Amino acid sequence: MKTAALLVGATLLAACASDDPPGLRSRHYELPTDEYNQLNGAAGDMVLYEIQVRTANACQPDLGADWQRAQCAAKVAPAIRYRVDNGSCGDLGWLESIKLGTLDDLLQDSADYRAGITVRYVDEKVGANALWLMPVFPNNDRWGVPDGCDNLGSPYAVRDYVHVRGTLDDACIAAGRDEYSEQPCWGNGALERVIAAAHGRGMKVLLDVAFNHLGHNYLMYDYVAFDPVRERIARGEDLGRLWDFAATRDDQLVHPALLDTPDALPISPELDALRARCPSLGGDALVRAFNMWRVALDWERDRFPCDPGYLEFGAPGFYLGGDAWDPATGIGDLFASWWPDVKFLFHQEGNWHQHELAREREYLFRILNYWVSRGVDGFRLDHTTDYFSGLGPNEWDYILSKVDYYAWLRGQDRPVFLAEEFHDQGGMSHVADVMTEGYLRDMAGRDGVTKDTAHVEWVVGNRERFDGRTYVMTALETHDEERLVQGTGFDPWTGAGFWGIGATTWSTPMLLMGQERGEPQRLQFRKSDILRSRFDGMAEQRGDADALTGFYHDMIEARLDPANRALRAQHGVFLRSRWTGDADSRIFARVAWSDDGNVVFTFHNLWYRDVAQDFYLPSNVTDAIGLDPDRSYQLRDILSGQVMGSCRRGADLAWDFYVSMPASMRLQWLRLERCD
């Protein structure tokens, strides 16, 4: 657990009250970025499976076996309108021939990967217990898209964070409507069905958000009722008091409803004021204008347009201004980022625009809080700190702590937060539960890195730089990376073996969809694509893909089995040769143990070689794992369940721990058991 650092001079809240929620990250009005916080241990019990919904079950009618082609021809799929305004694409015909996947595809009652990636498949065949969904929200697929063939736009250029794209919902597709329609159709119901299906199998669902920017033309929807920052300002309230979550508790936030239809518009002076200013507004345009008007500060209301359309017009102070320091004053005053399809948000702490900062912070909290209230179990937080916009650990600490607090009020488990972090890993390690970098590129070892035992030990040891404040995501593929077979020297089986190394450590392992099948093609980011390894007859299809998937399943099952809890424990030591006292460069060897005496030895044959070695256990290791020299022990292979060899005295085992693996064997995980 993360321990609370002493804050000199800080004003404490009622942290010791009997009804105070456990595990909150902060209970102070002002929290320094280096304060230690509570770590959510659920992060270490997850094995993540990352899915891009639109690609996971995409198909082409002329691809695969006959039955797959027939299935594709009958598939419900959105008709994607090509909207790019800054170029053309010679491959447009091919892109438009792809029938994209939907959330409903994940609910099909099939565990056959060739029929599609489903919740059942991920659970039963892969064994992962948490779905990480890449952004499912409406996104910018037109303005400033980098490439003329980006027919879908980046899922991280989000235009509406409280709705799911209608193009991911079969019901919206059947109705011929989506988020662009005059009466929008959203896929929230489909996502909630996926969450229910996952929860029914004991699985978690995590969403992906990027809060240092929004996509162009953000569509502003919000809760039906809450206490806006502008009202707090009007009452003369000290906004620093917002850190006191109990004192500023708003019951309207516990079970929030969305204001996203004209029927939900509240009868209020605020609505009367907007109607008086803009009497011609109606329908969805009025709904979005009211959501902006309600949170707009005085200076924004003074220039509020009667056809605001999008957030950057109605409340420009949400965005970073052209000077990269102050809030934007209008559509022409925006920070020109190197990402043309997004606009940076204003997060600057330490300057005098505290009203804009507090308003932004509350809105981002409401986004996460809404999804947690609908059953979402956690979030991957993209690009968590940023030098330009000012987004930093202190703001995240406020947002995530407040999400925790309202989850506690609902009787929910604490959400899990994964942070992608480039600028302030030290600061975010005190706030997030998992850091998503610092392992993948190091372990993959592209650019000619020699991946011997010394390299692997360095990567595994480097996880400890956070001193137990946060888990590290142990992955060898993500949506941002090449596949593990590209530029690494791995084939799918050696790559799987290296992935298994991370699965034996105190960490949060992750698989990218298709990795378990040896998918060779990098995940297309902004355009239509398919998972080639799904289809019979593809040149890239491996004949041993089912066996490879089974190998990943066995590793995951072994990791999650309480009988092997040492694999998820913090304690571990690298093993050395009995003969030389050094590491064997061919075999990554380690012993891990839990506080209650569970012990597992892990040996990884890094490359295709017949290997054998005598290891020894020095006294400090035998003491740590509780190995009694006079007791009799056996070793059980936790993947096969077989006992390896006969019972041996602890003293003999410590002095001569012999391991032999043929070239075809990637690993041995051996649990220590007493023979008596």
Q: What is the pLDDT of residues 320-343, one digit of tens each?
A: 999 999 999 999 899 988 889 999
* Confidence band for 188, pLDDT divided at 50, 70 and 90: very high
| pLDDT above 50 for 588 | yes
What CATH number did the domain enclosing 596 receive?
Answer: 2.60.40.1180
Are residues 573 and 554 both part of a single domain? no
Residue 504 has which token pair? 């034996």
Are residues 623 and 511 both part of a single domain? no
Q: Is 383 helix (H, G, I), strand (E, B) or coil?
A: coil
> What pLDDT was estimated at residue 91?
87
| pLDDT above 70 for 9 | no
Q: How far apart are CA 449 and CA 12, in angstroms?
A: 50
Are residues 184 and 152 both part of a single domain? yes
Are residues 626 and 641 both part of a single domain? yes
Q: How far apart are CA 266 and CA 225, in angstroms?
A: 8
State the total domains in the chain. Answer: 2
Question: Are β-strands 213-215 and 632-637 bridged in parallel, bridged antiparallel, or unpaired?
Answer: unpaired
Are residues 486 and 614 both part of a single domain? no
Could you give the percent of the chain with pLDDT greater than 90? 83
Q: Is 137 helix (H, G, I), strand (E, B) or coil?
A: coil
Lowest mean pLDDT among 80-89, 137-146, 609-618: 80-89
Q: How far apart are CA 118 and CA 128, in angstroms?
A: 12
Q: Is residue 651 part of a domain?
A: yes
Final residue before a domain boundary, out of 519, 545, 560: 560
* Confidence band for 20, pLDDT divided at 50, 70 and 90: low
Q: Tell me the average pLDDT of the chain.
A: 92
Residue-by-residue DSSP string for 415-457: PEEEE--SS-HHHHTTT-SEE--SSHHHHHTTTT---SHHHHH
Confidence (pTM): 0.94
Cα 440 → chain centroid = 15
Are residues 591 and 518 both part of a single domain? no
- Mean pLDDT over 46-72 rounds to 95
Q: Is 93 helix (H, G, I), strand (E, B) or coil?
A: helix
Are residues 578 and 545 both part of a single domain? no
- Mean pLDDT over 137-141 rounds to 95
Residue 62 has which token pair? 């002329």
> What pLDDT was estimated at residue 316?
97
Lowest mean pLDDT among 4-18, 97-111, 258-272, 648-662: 4-18
Domain extent, residue 590, equals 565-674
- Mean pLDDT over 417-443 rounds to 92
Q: Is residue 120 part of a domain?
A: yes
| Sign (positive or negative) of CA dihedral 381, 386, 389, 390 | positive
Q: Is residue 398 part of a domain?
A: no
Q: Is 625 helix (H, G, I), strand (E, B) or coil?
A: helix
- Mean pLDDT over 254-277 rounds to 96
Q: Is residue 625 part of a domain?
A: yes
Amino acid at 107: L
- Mean pLDDT over 186-194 rounds to 98
Are residues 470 and 534 both part of a single domain? yes
| pLDDT above 80 for 182 | yes
589 Cβ contact partners less than 8 Å away, ≥ 6 residues apart: 453, 574, 575, 576, 583, 601, 602, 603, 604, 613, 615, 659
Are residues 660 and 569 both part of a single domain? yes
φ/ψ of 604, rounded to 5, equals: -120, 120
φ/ψ of 555, rounded to 5, equals: -65, -45
- Mean pLDDT over 354-368 rounds to 97
> What pLDDT was estimated at residue 622?
97
Final residue before a domain boundary, out of 560, 580, 614: 560
Q: Is residue 171 part of a domain?
A: yes
> What pLDDT was estimated at residue 6?
22
> What pLDDT was estimated at residue 542?
63
334 and 323 in contact (C-beta within 8 Å)? no
Final residue before a domain boundary, out of 560, 593, 618: 560
Are residues 211 and 77 both part of a single domain? yes
Q: How far apart are CA 479 and CA 208, in angstroms?
A: 12
Q: How far apart are CA 445 and CA 220, in angstroms?
A: 43
| pLDDT above 60 for 17 | no
Q: How far apart are CA 300 and CA 439, in angstroms?
A: 45
Are residues 589 and 531 both part of a single domain? no
What CATH number did the domain enclosing 528 receive?
Answer: 3.20.20
Q: Is residue 605 part of a domain?
A: yes
| pLDDT above 70 for 26 | no
Q: What is the dihedral of CA 446, 451, 455, 461, to 10 degrees?
A: 80
- Mean pLDDT over 148-163 rounds to 95
| pLDDT above 60 for 42 | yes
| pLDDT above 90 for 80 | no
Q: How far apart are CA 199 and CA 175, in angstroms?
A: 28
Question: Are β-strands 378-382 and 416-419 bridged in parallel, bridged antiparallel, or unpaired?
Answer: parallel
| Sign (positive or negative) of CA dihedral 144, 145, 151, 157 | negative
Q: Is residue 94 part of a domain?
A: yes
Q: How far apart are CA 115 and CA 635, in angstroms?
A: 40
592 and 504 in contact (C-beta within 8 Å)? yes
Q: Is residue 252 part of a domain?
A: no
Cα 366 → chain centroid = 18
Are residues 606 and 536 both part of a single domain? no
